[in-house]
Amino acid sequence: MTGRFSVSNLGARYGRAVVLHDVALPALRDGEMLGILGPNASGKSTLMRRLTGEMPGPGDILLDGRTQREHGREGWRRAVAAAPQTPPAPSALMPTELMWSTARALGLALSDAELAARIEGIFDELGLGAVALSPLATLSGGKRQLVGLALALVRNPTLLLLDEPTSALDLHWRLAVLDLVRRRLRAQGGLVVAALHDLDLAARYCDRLAVLHEGRVLAAGCPAEVLTPDLLARVYRVEAEVSADPEGRPVVRALRAIDPGKGD
Which pLDDT score, from 0 to 100, does residue 85 have? 86
Question: Beta-strand (E) ranges in 157-249?
Answer: 159-163, 191-195, 208-213, 216-221, 238-244
Query: In whole angstroms, what is the distance from residue 212 CA to residue 25 CA?
Result: 10
Q: Is 198 left (phi over 0), alpha (psi -120 to 50) or beta?
A: beta
For residue range 31-78, what is the model confidence (pLDDT) as tens digits? 999 999 999 999 999 999 999 999 999 999 999 999 999 999 889 988
Q: Over the stretch 178-214, which tens digit does the pLDDT of each residue have?
A: 999 999 999 999 999 999 999 999 999 999 999 999 9
Domains and their CATH numbers in the chain: 5-257 (3.40.50.300)
Confidence of residue 3 (pLDDT cuts 50, 70, 90): low
pTM summary value: 0.93
Instruction: Specify the pLDDT at position 262.
Output: 60
